[in-house]
Structure 1
Amino acid sequence: MPFLSVSSVRCQKFFCALLCITAVFLLFSTSSARAQTFGAESFTLDNGLKVVVIPNHRAPVVSHMLWYKTGAADEPRGKSGIAHFLEHLLFTGTKNIPPDEFSKIVKSHGGQDNAFTAQDYTGYFQNIAVEKLPLVMAMEADRMKNLVLSEELVTRERQVILEERSQRTDNIPAARLGEAVSSALFVNHPYSIPVIGWRHEMEGLSREDALDFYRRHYRPANAILIVAGDITAERLKKLANRYYGHLTNPPQTRQLQRVWPAPAPLEADKRITLRDATVQSPVYQRHYRAPAGSEALEILSDILGEGTTSRLYRALVVEQKVATSAGSSYNAVQRGLSRFALYAVPAPDSDIETVEKALLDEIRKLMSGGITDAELTESKNRLIDSADYARDSLQYPAQVFGRALTAGFDLDYVEYWTERIENISAQDVMEAAQSVFGNGQASVSGILLPAEE
């Protein structure tokens, strides 16, 4: 069950692919000292723009991505949704590109483009033939500096994001439950606020709010340019200097730092129940706070609840037959605190209490008996094989590096992840499990039920 922050309606197809990347992203997380996975190189322009090139010469195409180290977690209080709103507005025109023409230009040259917003980042990309790379670099650099917003377009796009919230959150009980769980799990932390924003605050977002956020965060020193595909570092450096090198950072942003409040202590278990007439199947979820960047927790989640051979699926679905689905998830790549989540969907002749007990019994078995050498070896092989498959993709590696770098990790975190996985011991996994499930760690349970008759 993925717990992925989502962005704009213009990105639906893109994020369907990213649901697959949630699994692929278990792929990457750390360092050591052997062969690189992707052979990425990086350099930094004089204006602070970090540039990463990921060579892939299988076809004469590139994926050009500009990532900003700003997302929903960086929004001013009372302005939730402004990061995602601004993502929409960046397609409405600049001093040099007429309103709503950006994507049309990319498409006319045989490319595709889109954008996405999450808690830690906002990103824009174009997939296009390598000979068109200078064109999209010029266009992307232009809208970093020359955005033009009219009240008419702001009003139109505000209505678009409000409708997006209606379709993808307000009308979907599971999404509303997810918001409530996150609010309880990350009290006092920006992750408690949904990426899309709270409706009552979205309704008040203005042109000036968008421009203030744009001027503060959309600048070269706060951005990462990633180009994957048929390009070399030498060639990309020349192009990056030509098209991005002239951009400057506003003087008032020189001392800005990315500081978020710490989450309040989670001192007691919480239980949140949401009932809705549209719910067909009940769902049980249990969420724990967890540290980011843990390969041991990635392996733990793989063994415990990812796939039909996992412990939770075998026990609850295959053997006990009390659930139709069961599993876990963990996202290692977060700038702030992450979460470890467990879930189960009761079988037709079962109920929430039964699957909850069965799930917690499996956690107790894990904590008392540990994992086997065979489970550890098989999990490592699965994850490392997935990393090998990812090399063949054009855009997945760029996504992985972008998420890692905007979360504060470095290139080695991605490049040498497989070595870190290889070096994890069973003791490491159990110590990580203890940090999440042991010592009376509090959790937040989310329960989705049909409306009472």
Structure 2
Amino acid sequence: MFRSRFLPALPFAALLLVVGLGLIFGGSGRAAGAPPEIFTLENGMNVLVIPDHRAPVVTHMVWYGVGAADETPGKTGLAHFLEHLMFKGTKSIAPGDFSRIVARNGGQDNAFTHFDFTAYFQVIARDRLPLVMEMEADRMTNLVLTDEEVLPERDVVMEERRMRIENNPVAALQSAMSEALYGGHPYGRDIIGHMDEIAGLTTEDALDFYARFYTPNNATLIVAGDITAAELRPLAEKYYGAIGERAPTFIRDRAPAVWPDEDVRIVQRDPRVTQATWIRFLPAPSYRKASPADQPAFDVLAEILGRGTTSRLYRALVVEQRIASGVQSWYEGNRLDDGRFGIYALPRVDGDLGSLEKSIEAEIARLLDGGVDDEELARAKTVIAAGAIYARDNQRTMAYAYGEGLMTGLTVEQIHEWPERVRRVTKEDVMRVARLVFKNNPSVTGELLPGDNS
């Protein structure tokens, strides 16, 4: 199984991997019951329990409050590299055996790296939960790394970068756009790191990062599934509570992003490209930095403007004008620091990107001038709610959404109450955030064209 799912500036086709909280928690009806219970072990490790008794299965996740944005300058890619190396064995588990043991017990495991966190998870039968807790606690403290294991894995990561970014024209364009938008802020670089810096990472680098950040007082345990807090607490105390604090609790001190002074346009050509692509990024506050009323309004704005076949951009560019084969907008608020709003469009064959851009800007101007109506506001909320109905059927999705929210500055209560907050979004809320995004705000526009840059 491919373990690492680093999250770069995502191609539009993969955006649902990091959809806003509105699509995860915007279900119909009031938020059911009390919020999940959270408690803290004596060593500082937080524990969240999300009961779901429909099947004797649990999703067990350990989230570390460190990600790619926390790396030492000159060592980009280290957080993601260590994610790979966490599967290389401990004093009691041989390299590669972690996943094999999980699979032999009927489970699945994986891991992922974000700008602000790194997480590891297993989905397994309820009666096997002590097994995976014991193994995860073991690799929190007893990871064994040698050059014989580390250096070949470094080559794997370098090849991963080639495949995911350097050999992917859309991803390469977005990489350049992110750097232009965020400037010197860590969000402006790829989570997987710069190739020359990945090549210089060492076993000592990985062990130092592990010792500094992989400590229980910098971690959150989330278990969703067929278990209660009363049942989980003694297990958490047994397997994780016995681990001492190995390093001080990590306190971030990152400067905010400095946005461009003026609009930026990046044009790239690639002989592998057969269809042009247009993308635009605009600054936007993250969920954590937005006001309580604005947080869900950004998701509603994205839905109205460019999500799905009933959105304004789709109706105008694809159905009515027939100048685009696809168009979408999205909001990325799941970050501790500054977020962003994005739009992409694909012209019809032999279409002109200039005409496409003018039509997109005309639709945005129409939105700003005329506002939104009751029908499209209600429809946007309904679509968000429908997406949540399906998301709630997936135990892992729920655990991920709570973990991501907690790791990026939200509280359990804020996440739990999200459905009601979405329902309270008004037309005025949507227009307020629309003006925040689109009026007097610098943008980075990318064009990907067939041909050769030289």
Alignment RMSD (CA, Å): 2.2
Which residue in 2 is equivalent to 1:450?
Answer: 450
Q: Deviations over 1:146-180 (max 9, x none)?
A: 11101111111101101111111111111111110
Q: Is the 8 A contact 2:83 2:111 kept in 1?
A: yes
Of 20, 43, 49, which residue of structure 2 is paired with 1:47? 43
Which residue in 1 is equivalent to 2:291?
Answer: none
Identity %, equivalent residues = 47
- 1:188 offset after TM fit, Å? 1.8
Q: How far apart are the structure 2 equivalents of 1:143 and 1:132? A: 17
Matched, 1:259 2:253: yes
SS at match of 2:106: coil
SS at match of 2:261: coil
Task: Kindly provide the amino acid, as one letter, of the partner of residue 248 in structure 2.
Answer: T
Sort the Cα spacing of 1:186 and 1:205 in 2 relative to 1 into closer, same or farther, 3 A.
Answer: same
Sort the Cα spacing of 1:41 and 1:360 in 2 relative to 1 into closer, same or farther, 3 A.
Answer: same
Which residue in 2 is equivalent to 1:5?
Answer: none
Q: Deviations over 1:304-341 (max 9, x none)?
A: 00001110011001000011011101123211111101
Q: How far apart are the structure 2 equivalents of 1:341 and 1:55? A: 35
Q: Deviations over 1:23-75 (max 9, x none)?
A: 47432579xx9644784111111111111111111111101011111110111
Q: How far apart are the structure 2 equivalents of 1:105 and 1:263? A: 43
Q: How far apart are the structure 2 equivalents of 1:281 and 1:37? A: 49
Which residue in 2 is equivalent to 1:108?
Answer: 104
Q: How far apart are the structure 2 equivalents of 1:34 and 1:317? A: 36
Alignment: residue pair count: 441
Which residue in 2 is equivalent to 1:61?
Answer: 57
Which residue in 1 is equivalent to 2:416?
Answer: 415
Q: Deviations over 1:345-397 (max 9, x none)?
A: 11114211010011001011011001101111111122123223322221110
Q: How far apart are the structure 2 equivalents of 1:13 and 1:170? A: 15
Task: Kindly provide the amino acid, as one letter, of the partner of residue 62 in structure 2.
Answer: L
Q: How far apart are the structure 2 equivalents of 1:262 and 1:195? A: 18
Consecutive unaligned residues in structure 2, runs of 5 or more? 288-294
Consecutive unaligned residues in structure 1, runs of 5 or more? 1-7
Of 263, 270, 274, which residue of structure 2 is paired with 1:276? 270
Which residue in 1 is equivalent to 2:290?
Answer: none
Which residue in 2 is equivalent to 1:233?
Answer: 229
Q: Is the 8 A contact 2:278 2:353 kept in 1?
A: yes
- Mapping 1:168-207, distance limit 5 Å: 168-207=164-203
- Mapping 1:391-430, distance limit 5 Å: 391-430=392-431
Q: Deviations over 1:387-420 (max 9, x none)?
A: 2332222111001001001111111121110111
Task: Kindly provide the amino acid, as one letter, of the partner of residue 332 in structure 1.
Answer: G
- 1:269 offset after TM fit, Å? 0.3
Q: Is the 8 A contact 2:6 2:113 kept in 1?
A: no
Q: Is the 8 A contact 2:87 2:95 kept in 1?
A: yes
Of 280, 287, 297, which residue of structure 2 is paired with 1:286? 280
Sort the Cα spacing of 1:12 and 1:409 in 2 relative to 1 into closer, same or farther, 3 A.
Answer: closer
Q: Is the 8 A contact 1:177 1:274 kept in 2?
A: yes
- 1:108 offset after TM fit, Å? 1.1
Matched, 1:365 2:366: yes
SS at match of 1:94: coil
Q: How far apart are the structure 1 equivalents of 2:353 and 2:280? A: 12
TM-score using structure 1 length:
0.93
Which residue in 2 is equivalent to 1:83?
Answer: 79
Task: Kindly provide the amino acid, as one letter, of the partner of residue 3 in structure 2.
Answer: R
Q: How far apart are the structure 1 equivalents of 2:96 and 2:402? A: 29
Q: Deviations over 1:261-299 (max 9, x none)?
A: 221232100001111000111011111010112211100
Q: How far apart are the structure 2 equivalents of 1:178 and 1:216? A: 31
Task: Kindly provide the amino acid, as one letter, of the partner of residue 326 in structure 1.
Answer: V
Q: Which moved more, 1:19-28 or 1:429-438?
A: 19-28
